[in-house]
Amino acid sequence: MLFNSLEFILAFLPVTFFVYFWLNKKRLIVAGKSWLVLASLVFYAWWNVQYLPLILVSILVNFAIGSALARQAGDGARRGRLGAKWLLAAGIVFNLGLLGYYKYADFFLGNLGRVLDAPIEPLGIVLPLAISFFSFTQIAYLVDSYRGRAKEYDLLNYALFVTFFPHLIAGPIVHHGEIMPQFSAAANLVRRYRNVLLGLMLFSIGLAKKVLIADTFAVWATAGFDQADHLNFYEAWATSLSYTFQIYFDFSGYTDMALGAAMLFNIRMPVNFNSPYRATSIQDFWRRWHITLSRFLRDYLYIPLGGSRRGTGRVYANLLLTFVLGGLWHGATWMFVLWGALHGAAMVAHRLWQRLGVRMPALLAWLLTFNFINLTWIFFRAQSLEDALKVLRGMTGFDAMGRLGERFTAWAGLLDPQIEVGLALLGGLALALGWRNSNALLAGARPGLAGAAACGLLAAVSLLTLMASKYSEFIYFNF
Amino acid sequence: MGRRDRKLVLVLILAALGPAAALFSTLYAYDPLALFHEPWGRPQTVHKNMRLQAAGIIRYEAFDSVILGTSILENTSAREASRLLGGRFVNLSISAGDFFERGLILRDLLARRPVREVIYSLDFIYLNQRKGYWYYPLPTYDFLYDRNPLNDVRAYLNGHFLGCLFHWSVDPDCVGRVVDLDRPNAWMGEPEEASRFGGLDAWCRAHDSAQIRDVYAKLSEATQAIRTGALQPPDPSQKTLAIEYVEQNLTSVIKAYPKTQFYLVFPPYSRAKFAIWHQSRPGDAETHLAVVRYLAELASRLPNLQVLGFEDQDFPDDVARYKDIDHFDPDISSLITQSIAQGRHRITAANVEPYLAEATRRAMAYRLDDVTARLAACIEPHAGTGP
């Protein structure tokens, strides 16, 4: 089920909300938690019921390993720690094994076939929804249990932690310690209208970002990336910037909706998005974009690899490897690997620049960072290297400068593309830089009548647009 | 604090759902396509866009049998079919409808009510296996046939119908015309169409017509290919794809509804059409023959299926009975219905091979170059003056 679907907004969310708090009001706390787990599983299975057993098995296995790790972390004996290490390794192998099979098996076989020059029949595995997210969430839980930072001996609580629908499909990637104490707090078992109000406001803003902005840019990005054989200078820049703003408002909108939905249940999720296009360096960007993924990669990949502790060369190698694997996490294609490698290389370049000790003017730093992000999104979005090069050729092909061509106009269904696309891109930039992000909106917010009514009207326009438009998915649902 | 927040929550929800509720209530009352109820305060009308309108007819009209063709069957009289075959027919034929589009409507119809009989035209679209016609994009109407009433309002959430709503218009472009369902989209009475029956002279007089120019282009292309030997290369996969297309969008439905009697009609196009296939496009001809064989075999196995064909008859040779190489006169429409009623012109496993042999012989004997030359004489002088 999608956050931006009518069945979610008009049926699933209200029913789940009212039944949960009704059960809590009747002091049926376990039933309330069970209801949330059940609702979250329905939310998950709505997409394809076939993969429901997969997530259930994954939960059972990780719970068994995690609770054993937590017990061993408690006794602290050296012999126990050795056994725990093997148990942790087994748990990580289990999660990576599932992820590897479902996400990377066909990619591996395809490449093996190319290397051996003997095509291998792909397994034709359909990627189960959310596997990348629930695998990482559970790996983090196992490590936290091993380190004694998470203790969970209740299967229902654990199932709720993994499946809680606001974060299940596309993050944020949460730690057990961030979420579960909130479910246990007595004050959170009752309806809190301040949270309901903030949650609905946030959800409405997220819905508008997705439906009104991201889906509009999506049409132009698709026209340029997927339908055009050739792009002139203006078309190519319009295409790449359209995607840059599409993915921003898509993911930012999703994050707002996830945080808003969780707030209805008095749960505050970790900040995952902090105005990333305001970044003035690539390092700054990764502290603002998909923050919980960056945190996961830092804590569970970069630091275990040695992090910054083992010499300059090793730091650069670790950075590159972390970003290449981070790219691959997004999808099993060489384009994601290339995108990750470009970001890794940029991180290395940033470190080298820092060593020079020269300070770049903030505006120039922002301009460089934004354009680098814009250029690398091309590799993230393009289906093939040829498609990416088509856009890059257009962006650098000054000989083909001109207005948006007739074909582009027809594809994008525009009346006056020069004005519409130009204004939209400027508007997108202004919103990305100037609009307060969700965590800033929530911090100490004291919404009034105008704010509530404005968010309501925003939701109304989004709902009507949603009803009139075709099906659209969140980009991060594909990962 | 809690009280104020509670009030603000209410304000937000009302602001979010209020406008939509008001709009939907008004659209529900206006309901130009009768998707939600029979018309209120205005007569029963039928919109020209049958892809949209069929949804309303299926829900609220009293009928038990259907003619579901393309423009080929738009002139077929539902009243005549009811008289000859029994039951209560309506004609829901959709212009340029392919099997996929009609499959949507057919499945929805059969799921909603018991249907006695279906008359269906087997147009040549199985040659390219089209799924949706660009002029009527699928996302603008396919949701009307998914049996999810919650999304039906999408049909009205566009500039056209919102404009109609704003004026509460009863204009034919908004709500359709007052016509009965005998043949609501019949084109035989339209002067531009009717004037092209009568022979090649009538086609020549209509030299500005896009359809006649298209006919001439196809005939010229075919004669040129025959002259130079540059025939369409056969594609072995085309036959398989064509049969899969018919299976997925039609015969699977026939098998699923054994109590409904299906009459599938291979349209009696003019002989020129079949001659183009057999003489210049052997791949298309072979695919056509394969589909005829497949359906003839199936008709011998399924008691609820009859397949009719007319390629072994004389009348397709008579250009006077066609307004172009596809569309025939109303008498042929009537002949088809009568043939169904009398059990004539049926193709079965027992007679399919002699039928196809005769059809092929006639198509190969047809003088495409004669017709092309006669058309060239009257159309070429007007080249470049058309619309």
Cα distance between residue A210 and residue A215, in whole Å: 6
| pLDDT, position A417 | 59
pLDDT tens per residue across span B223-256 = 889 978 888 787 888 889 999 899 889 999 999 9
Q: In what order do the strands lie in the sheet with B261-265?
A: B89-91, B65-68, B117-121, B261-265, B305-308
Q: Which of A175, A330, A343, A350 is catalytic?
A: A330
Tell me the percentage of chain B whose pLDDT exceeds 90. 59
Average pLDDT across chain A, whole number: 81
Residue of B nearest to A460 (CA): B16
| pLDDT, position B236 | 81
| pLDDT, position A234 | 65
Q: What is the DSSP letter of B38?
A: S
| pLDDT, position B379 | 75
What's phi and psi for B355, nearest 5 deg?
-60, -50
Q: How far B153 CA lies from chain A's nearest CA (Å)?
A: 8
Residue pair B280/B232 in contact (Cβ under 8 Å)? The answer is yes
| pLDDT, position A408 | 54
Confidence of residue A309 (pLDDT cuts 50, 70, 90): low
Beta bridge mates, B89: B65
- Answer yes or no: is pLDDT of B222 > 90: yes
| pLDDT, position A477 | 52
Cα distance between residue B149 and residue A12, in whole Å: 17
Place of tokens 């919109």: B47
HSE of B163 in the Cβ direction (CA atoms, 13 Å)?
6
- Segment B38-50 shows an average pLDDT of 87
Segment among B186-200, B300-314, B353-367 with least mean pLDDT: B186-200
- Selected residue of B9, B12, B27 to mutate for chain A interface (largest A Cβ count, 10 A): B12
Residue of A nearest to B3 (CA): A193
Residue pair A401/A234 in contact (Cβ under 8 Å)? The answer is yes
pLDDT tens per residue across span B112-147 = 889 989 999 999 999 989 888 877 888 889 999 987
Residue with the bigger pLDDT between A360 and A267: it is A267
Residue pair B303/B258 in contact (Cβ under 8 Å)? The answer is yes
**Token pair in block for residue B284:** 């298309």
Helices of type H across A171-279: 176-184, 193-208, 215-222, 233-264
Instruction: Tally C-beta pairs within 8 A across A and B.
Output: 74
Residues 6+ apart with CB under 8 A from A425: A238, A241, A242, A245
Q: Is the dihedral of CA A66, A69, A75, A76 positive or negative?
A: negative
Cα distance between residue A83 and residue A75, in whole Å: 12
Pairing between strand B261-265 and B305-308?
parallel
Cα distance between residue A277 and residue A280, in whole Å: 8
Q: Reduce the DSSP state of residue B264 to 3 states and report it.
A: strand
What's phi and psi for A28, nearest 5 deg?
-95, 70
Phi-psi region of A431 (alpha: psi -120 to 50; beta: other; left: phi over 0): alpha
Is the CB of B13 less than 8 angstroms away from the CB of A456? yes
| pLDDT, position A446 | 62
Report CA-CA distances (Å) from A157 to A33, A163, A259, A360, A423: 8, 10, 20, 49, 49
Task: Decide if A448 touches B, using CB distance below 8 A.
Answer: yes
Residue pair B378/B204 in contact (Cβ under 8 Å)? The answer is yes
Virtual torsion, Cα B149, B154, B156, B157, nearest 10 deg = 150
Q: What is the DSSP letter of B195?
A: T
pLDDT tens per residue across span B45-88 = 999 799 999 999 998 888 999 999 999 999 999 989 998 999 97
**Token pair in block for residue B51:** 């892809």
Confidence of residue B159 (pLDDT cuts 50, 70, 90): confident
CA A128 from chain center: how many Å? 16
Phi-psi region of A444 (alpha: psi -120 to 50; beta: other; left: phi over 0): left
| pLDDT, position B34 | 93
Is the CB of A457 less than 8 angstroms away from the CB of B19? yes
Residue pair B242/B126 in contact (Cβ under 8 Å)? The answer is yes
Is the CB of A194 less than 8 angstroms away from the CB of B157? no
| pLDDT, position B205 | 82
pLDDT tens per residue across span B204-220 = 888 778 888 789 998 99
What's phi and psi for A449, nearest 5 deg?
-60, -45
Report CA-CA distances (Å) from A320 to A139, A280, A315, A345, B328: 22, 20, 9, 6, 70
Confidence of residue B311 (pLDDT cuts 50, 70, 90): very high
- Selected residue of A193, A215, A227 to mutate for chain B interface (largest B Cβ count, 10 A): A193
- Answer yes or no: is pLDDT of A344 > 60: yes
Measured CA angle at A393 (ends A388, A395), to 5 deg: 95
| pLDDT, position B209 | 85
- Answer yes or no: is pLDDT of A335 > 50: yes
pLDDT tens per residue across span A242-296 = 999 889 898 889 888 898 999 899 987 888 878 899 898 998 999 888 898 888 8
Cα distance between residue B334 and residue B317, in whole Å: 18
Residue of B nearest to A452 (CA): B12
**Residue A143, H or E segment:** helix A131-146
Is the CB of A197 less than 8 angstroms away from the CB of B13? no
Task: Decide if B16 touches A, using CB distance below 8 A.
Answer: yes
**Residue among B180, B162, B145 at smallest CA distance from B32:** B162
| pLDDT, position B177 | 76
Cα distance between residue B277 and residue B266, in whole Å: 15
Report CA-CA distances (Å) from B72 to A385, B138, B253: 47, 21, 21
| pLDDT, position B72 | 92
Q: Please report how the helices B210-228 and B271-280 are oriented relative to each other, as an axis angle in degrees rounded to 10.
A: 30
Q: Reduce the DSSP state of residue A174 to 3 states and report it.
A: coil
Residue A242 one-letter amino acid: S
pLDDT tens per residue across span A111-142 = 788 787 777 767 777 777 788 888 888 898 89
Specify which of A44-48, A446-450, B370-374 reaches the highest per-range mean pLDDT.
Answer: B370-374
- Segment A329-336 shows an average pLDDT of 83
Confidence of residue B359 (pLDDT cuts 50, 70, 90): very high
Residue pair B355/B311 in contact (Cβ under 8 Å)? The answer is yes
Task: Decide if B13 touches A, using CB distance below 8 A.
Answer: yes
- Answer yes or no: is pLDDT of A85 > 80: no
- Answer yes or no: is pLDDT of B387 > 50: no
Residues 6+ apart with CB under 8 A from A161: A137, A141, A152, A174, A176, A179, A180
- Segment A378-404 shows an average pLDDT of 74
Residue of A nearest to B151 (CA): A467
Neighbours of A112 (CB within 10 A): 12
Exposure string of A208-236, with b = 16+ CB inside 10 Å and e = fewer, is: bbbbbbbbbbbebbbbbbeebeebbbbbb
Cα distance between residue B302 and residue B279, in whole Å: 33
- Answer yes or no: is pLDDT of B320 > 70: yes
Exposure string of A435-451, with b = 16+ CB inside 10 Å and e = fewer, is: eebbbebbeeeebeeeb
Residue pair A262/A13 in contact (Cβ under 8 Å)? The answer is no
- Segment A168-193 shows an average pLDDT of 82
Residue with the bigger pLDDT between A144 and A468: it is A144
HSE of A99 in the Cβ direction (CA atoms, 13 Å)?
22
Task: Decide if A450 touches B, using CB distance below 8 A.
Answer: no
Q: Reduce the DSSP state of residue B32 to 3 states and report it.
A: coil
**Token pair in block for residue A24:** 């809590």
Task: Decide if A463 touches B, using CB distance below 8 A.
Answer: yes
Task: Decide if B2 touches A, using CB distance below 8 A.
Answer: yes
Helices of type H across chain B: 2-30, 50-60, 78-85, 99-112, 159-167, 172-175, 191-194, 200-205, 210-228, 236-246, 252-256, 271-280, 282-301, 330-342, 352-365, 368-379
- Answer yes or no: is pLDDT of B160 > 90: no
Q: Please report how the helices A176-184 and A155-163 are oriented relative to each other, as an axis angle in degrees rounded to 10.
A: 120
Q: Reduce the DSSP state of residue B99 to 3 states and report it.
A: helix
Please spell the DSSP secondary structure of B115-165, one letter per residue. Answer: --EEEEE--GGGGTT--SBTTB-GGGTGGGGSS-GGGGGGGG-SHHHHHHH
Residue pair A202/A259 in contact (Cβ under 8 Å)? The answer is yes
Cα distance between residue A310 and residue B338, in whole Å: 91
A290 is catalytic: no
- Segment B296-316 shows an average pLDDT of 93
| pLDDT, position A401 | 46
- Answer yes or no: is pLDDT of A384 > 60: yes
